[in-house]
């Protein structure tokens, strides 16, 4: 076989080794955790989401309170006692027993019920928005773990390259083809690579703990199994709608829907305030003992506040202002969200182009260049510095690919959070 054929075969084998590294790393790992697993666990057990169970119970109790009618009241009145003369004794006292009932007018009870229902709707929308926040944070931390796993592979690859370089340098030194300092430099490079690998392993473990904390576990456990690697494609490029479509989807986001529920709540509060224009009345009836005789008499009466319409106006003005403020807040929020979506859409396009270039041309060429440099170094054609430069450039390209993939996924996550619609990978 010719030297040219040997060289090409060597390059192919080196490229195949790069592809096989991830497979050997995960072959003996525990059951992988997918993003779907993490999202299901967080949706079920996230401590922050549990709070809304009690908020909804409180809102239901508020609704039951609003449905209550005014309670029937009982009163006892004792007249003509404790005075002077004959009134100083209880023999002149006159007792009256009376039952009274407040009668609500102007649809006040219905308005109160509408307000309680609208308040519960705001709690439901707030729960949906909080769930989106939690799931977006799950995605961010999951992507962080996935990125660190890829960085760990690169660190392991760097260690393997450093070990191979040290072996080759040792052989060259023993053959008197290189100075002894070359072997020392290779040994130092290997030590640094091992330190970097250990550091990334520690960061990865911390990231796993942070991810597990989102479903209320301070240990990296899911389903009773050790939390090993996460399973996902850091380099999948999601399909994205045009900008107008994304902005339109924002209107289905609970962050935006909460303005509609807030408007309904303010409408209900305005109707409730308007009912104060018509005063409630209190009616009562009872019996009174007629002192000095053996008989009793009936009593009846009613009462109502005066000038209710005038007193109700400040409450109506307040409710009207709060309702108008919701519309202004909605318009401002839509403008801010539209600008944010436009910026994210532009950045995502740039990040996808960078990732595609790294995948399709830059990394394959660097892998081939490294293999050729290693082949030439082992045969004494290239120096140690040329080999180290090739290794450094190769590792930098792989790290740049990881950064580009992570950026694409994080930008997609932010767009999903704003549109409340997951993007589909290509």
b/e code 191-211 from CB counts within 10 Å (16+ = b): eebeebbeebeeebeebbeeb
Q: What is the pTM of this model?
A: 0.77
Q: Which residues contact 341 (CB under 8 A, 6 or more apart)?
A: 243, 246, 247, 250, 415, 418, 419
The SS3 assignment for 30 reads: coil
CB 94 within 8 A of CB 78: yes
pLDDT one-digit tens code per residue, 18-56: 333 333 333 344 678 888 888 888 888 888 888 888 888
The rounded percent of the chain whose pLDDT value lies above 70 is 85
Task: Please spell the DSSP secondary structure of 281-332, one letter per residue.
Answer: EEEEEEEEE-TTSS-EEEEEEEE--S-HHHHHHHHHHHHHHHHHHHHHHHHH
pLDDT one-digit tens code per residue, 232-253: 899 988 888 888 888 888 888 8
Task: Give the total number of structural domains in the chain.
Answer: 1
Dihedral pair phi/psi, residue 385, rounded to 5°: -65, -40
Dihedral pair phi/psi, residue 160, rounded to 5°: -60, -40
CB 103 within 8 A of CB 282: yes
Q: Which residues contact 253 (CB under 8 A, 6 or more apart)?
A: 129, 132, 337, 418, 419, 420
Structural domain for 125, as ranges: 3-425
Indicate which CATH number applies to the domain containing 399: 1.20.1600.10
pLDDT one-digit tens code per residue, 54-74: 888 998 898 888 888 888 888
pLDDT one-digit tens code per residue, 167-207: 888 888 887 777 888 888 889 999 999 999 999 999 998 89
């Amino acid at each position: 076989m010719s030297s040219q054929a040997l060289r090409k075969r060597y390059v192919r084998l080196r490229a195949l080794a790069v592809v096989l590294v991830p497979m050997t790393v995960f072959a003996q790992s525990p059951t992988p955790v997918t993003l779907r697993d993490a999202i299901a666990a967080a949706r079920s057990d996230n401590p922050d989401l549990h709070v809304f169970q009690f908020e909804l119970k409180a809102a239901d109790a508020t609704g039951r309170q609003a449905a209550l009618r005014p309670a029937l009241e009982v009163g006892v009145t004792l007249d003509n006692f404790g005075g002077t003369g004959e009134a100083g004794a209880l023999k002149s006292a006159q007792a009256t027993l009376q039952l009274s009932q407040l009668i609500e007018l102007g649809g006040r009870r219905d308005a109160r019920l509408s307000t309680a229902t609208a308040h519960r709707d705001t709690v439901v929308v707030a729960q949906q928005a909080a769930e989106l926040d939690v799931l977006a944070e799950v995605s961010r931390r999951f992507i962080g773990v996935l990125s660190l796993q890829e960085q760990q592979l690169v660190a392991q690859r760097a260690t393997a390259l450093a070990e191979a370089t040290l072996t080759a340098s040792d052989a060259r030194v023993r053959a008197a083809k290189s100075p002894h300092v070359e072997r020392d430099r290779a040994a130092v490079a290997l030590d640094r690579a091992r330190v970097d690998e250990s550091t990334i392993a520690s960061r990865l473990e911390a990231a796993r703990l942070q991810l597990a904390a989102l479903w209320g576990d301070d240990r990296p456990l899911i389903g009773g199994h050790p939390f090993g690697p996460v399973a996902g494609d850091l380099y999948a490029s999601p399909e994205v709608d045009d900008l107008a479509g994304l902005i339109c989807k924002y209107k289905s986001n609970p962050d935006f829907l909460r303005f509609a529920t807030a408007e309904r709540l303010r409408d209900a509060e305005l109707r409730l305030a308007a009912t104060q224009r018509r005063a409630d009345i209190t009616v009562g009836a009872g019996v009174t003992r007629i002192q000095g005789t053996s008989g009793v008499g009936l009593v009846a009466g009613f009462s109502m506040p005066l000038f209710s319409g005038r007193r109700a106006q400040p409450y109506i003005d307040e409710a009207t202002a709060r309702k108008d403020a919701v519309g202004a807040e909605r318009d401002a929020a839509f403008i801010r969200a539209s600008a944010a979506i436009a910026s994210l859409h532009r950045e995502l396009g740039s990040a996808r182009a960078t990732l595609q270039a790294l995948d399709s041309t830059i990394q394959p060429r660097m892998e081939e260049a490294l293999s050729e440099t290693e082949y030439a170094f082992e045969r004494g054609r290239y120096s140690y510095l040329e080999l180290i430069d090739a290794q450094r450039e190769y590792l930098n390209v792989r790290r740049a690919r990881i950064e580009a993939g992570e950026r694409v996924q994080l930008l997609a996550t932010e767009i999903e959070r704003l549109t409340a619609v997951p993007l589909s990978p290509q």
